[in-house]
Amino acid sequence: MAHKTPLGSSAPPTSCLDLWREKNDQLVRQAKVAQDLGLSLRRQQLAQDALEGLRGLLHSLQGLPAAVSVLPLELSVICNFITLRASLAQGFTEDLAQDIQRGLERVLETQEQLEARLEHGLRELWDFVLHVSSLLPEVLPALHHLAGLQAALWLSTNHLGDLTFLLQTLNGSQCRASEDLLLLLKTWRPPAEESDAPLTLQDARSLRDVLLTAFAHRQGLQELITGSLPRALSSLHEAASSLCPQTVLVQVYTALGTCLRKMGSPQKALLYLIAALKGGSTWGPPLLEASRLYRQLGNTAAEIESLELLVEALSVSDIPEAPQLLIEVELLLPRPDPASPLHCGTQSQAKYLLASRCLQTGRAEDAAEHYLDLLALLLDVSEPKLSPPPCPPGPCVPEVFLEAAAALIQAGRAQDALTICEELLSRMSSLLPKRPRLWKDARKGARESPHCSPWVSATYLLQGQAWVQLGARKEAISEFSRCLELLFRATPKDKEQGPASSCEQGCTSDVALQQLRAAALISRGLEWVASGQDTRALQDFLLSVQVCPGNQDASFHLLRTLRRLDRRDEATALWRRLEAQTELPQENATWSLPLYLETCLGWIRPPDCETLLAEFRTSLLKTCDL
């Protein structure tokens, strides 16, 4: 069948076509030479010159009427230009879609069918061009190459519906009903290029393999995040078994480790994480996942070691490698979001995780040192005065100060803890209300934060505990009283304030404020007990039971005090309630407290509660016998 050309036009002379093709081939060779030079100014200059040369060649070709005999070369030049431009920019830009559209329009120009299709979008344009191209077999290889670039652009911008439609059209009737993108990519068979075809930076089959790996990787991660673990495992295995570059393989192995850990196969997960650590220089994500795995297994020493290695790995700047001047898998992958197993955060976030886990697992001395290192990291870039904006993932900066102070007290370094508390108070001073007001009124000030009072109250509480450790009872009672004064004029909720960050919710929730009040009352009550003032202690313990009815520690301290004061009837009634509570099945708490508060509550927990109940039971029996 004779090919149609626009009326009054003809193919350019063969000599021109040969010159254009020679120019294309020379520019492709130049780009490949640049690719082998590594990171250097020479490489950048050669690649940029090649890009500009392709742009100029394309301008020359598209300045003439479209001709079937030139289309394979013109489409190849478009593909080379898009490939080089996207690789240099490390991403697809909006104008690259326009280059693709212009190429499709040139195909339609040769068939005198452009005007009827100009009003349609890119998706419909592809559908029409691919049907028309059955009349142009010599254009098919270059057209499939251009389709591969369109697929890469739509995958990188998450236009999966358009990508599915394109692949269905490329595959023809055999896959028209399928919407499985992995299946469609596997089924797609780009036609082989002729031996005398123009040179290209990357052919359609290579692009298909990149797309297959990138989509399997993206889909596996998304399924892992949403909890579809069996499907995630299948997708990630598909990515690992495809032509996967080493850097991407490390990511896939890490995600497989996460998936298998969540599916209850820790040993298999560990094998993948070891392979990920052996396979590349990006150790952050597999080390973080290894720490989670060891925590799940109860191997605290290995967990802490993994976190130490993570901090060390994130402190070393990666030496950037020159990206290939091709469409690579990495180019089509989104940046890991915080929910992704490939997100390992910053050095300071890893340091916080290490410090907090040391504090939670009883490694107080290590925790104290890690918190001090962390504060040094944070304060290098902090403002002179501390403001408490949300900083996910992890706690707000004031909470890091509070946890650091708690760790120092736990490690027996009370004086250092006081220094940390004083620093926090000085940084928070400008944000506090200047006179007693309800929270709703306090929040009207432009520089006053609704979350400052709980943090400052907690600071006073920790200062009190530091003075307890130093044996300064008067100072301790004074700090506990300041904490309570601030807490009892605070109302925890203000719905007009809007959503708070996770750390703000933690410090201002009803439960946290109740427990903070109880901790301050119990702490002051214990100091009254130590100074022989049981009546005052009784008042604080009674109030702590009222403000936080679910805190059994307050009830046990109250029971001891009632017993010492020989208030037998009240003590007996309280003992019966505690006995009844211990016989009930214990429900897991549905809330969590800030770590500094959990640590503080651990210090004031009464010892041997069961022994106290048993002794009280025995004394009651003796009384009954008498």
Is residue 570 predicted with pLDDT exceeding 50?
yes
What is the pLDDT averaged over residues 223-238?
95
Residue 131 burial class via C-beta count within 10 angstroms: exposed 0-12, middle 13-18, buried 19 and up: exposed
Q: Quick one: what percent of the chain has pLDDT higher than 90?
A: 57
Q: What are the pLDDT digits (tens) for 3-46?
A: 444 433 455 556 788 999 999 999 999 999 988 887 778 888 99
Residue spans of alpha helices (H) in 90-139: 94-110, 122-132
Separation of alpha carbons 479 and 358, rounded Å: 27
Mean pLDDT lowest among 149-158, 240-249, 283-292, 586-595: 586-595
Using alpha carbons, list the distances in angstroms from residue 477 to 312, 413, 468: 42, 19, 9
At residue 594 the predicted structure's pLDDT band, cuts being 50, 70 and 90, is very high
Q: What are the pLDDT digits (tens) for 350-370?
A: 999 999 999 999 999 999 999
Stronger pLDDT, 549 or 258, i.e. the higher one: 258
Tokens of 77: 């030049």
At residue 137 the predicted structure's pLDDT band, cuts being 50, 70 and 90, is confident
pLDDT at 321: 73
Question: Helices H, strands E: what count in the chain?
Answer: 28, 0
Helix (H, G, I), strand (E, B) or coil at 20: helix
Separation of alpha carbons 352 and 403, rounded Å: 10
CB 541 within 8 A of CB 523: no
At residue 508 the predicted structure's pLDDT band, cuts being 50, 70 and 90, is low
Nearest C-alpha neighbor of 166 from the set 211, 127, 134: 127
Q: Quick one: what percent of the chain has pLDDT higher than 70?
A: 84
Stronger pLDDT, 568 or 415, i.e. the higher one: 415
What is the pLDDT averaged over residues 423-432?
78
Tokens of 318: 């990666």
pLDDT at 412: 96
At residue 431 the predicted structure's pLDDT band, cuts being 50, 70 and 90, is low
Mean pLDDT lowest among 136-145, 174-183, 185-194: 174-183
pLDDT at 442: 34
B/e letters for 34-67, b = 16+ CB within 10 Å, e = fewer, are bbeeeeeeebeebbeebbebbeebbeebbeebbb
CATH 1.25.40 matches 506-583+592-626: yes
Is residue 94 predicted with pLDDT exceeding 90?
no
pLDDT at 377: 86
At residue 381 the predicted structure's pLDDT band, cuts being 50, 70 and 90, is low
CB 148 within 8 A of CB 211: yes
pLDDT at 507: 54
What is the pLDDT averaged over residues 480-495?
76
CB 304 within 8 A of CB 351: no
What is the pLDDT averaged over residues 204-212?
95
pLDDT at 583: 61
What is the pLDDT averaged over residues 290-310?
96
Stronger pLDDT, 319 or 386, i.e. the higher one: 319
Mean pLDDT lowest among 562-566, 601-605, 619-623: 619-623
What is the pLDDT averaged over residues 489-517?
62
B/e letters for 470-495, b = 16+ CB within 10 Å, e = fewer, are eeeeebbbbbbebbbebbeebebeee
Stronger pLDDT, 13 or 556, i.e. the higher one: 556
Q: Do domains 207-317 and 506-583+592-626 have the same CATH topology?
A: yes
pLDDT at 199: 94
CATH topology assigned to domain 207-317: 1.25.40
Give the chain's mean pLDDT: 84
At residue 300 the predicted structure's pLDDT band, cuts being 50, 70 and 90, is very high
Calculate the dihedral angle through the C-alpha atoms of 36, 38, 44, 46, rounding to the nearest 10 degrees. -20
pLDDT at 621: 61
At residue 175 the predicted structure's pLDDT band, cuts being 50, 70 and 90, is low
Separation of alpha carbons 390 and 602, rounded Å: 27
What is the pLDDT averaged over residues 430-456?
51
Tokens of 200: 């290209």
Separation of alpha carbons 395 and 349, rounded Å: 9
Is residue 251 predicted with pLDDT exceeding 70?
yes
Could you tell me the residue ranges of all domains in the chain?
A: 16-186, 207-317, 368-430, 506-583+592-626
pLDDT at 584: 55
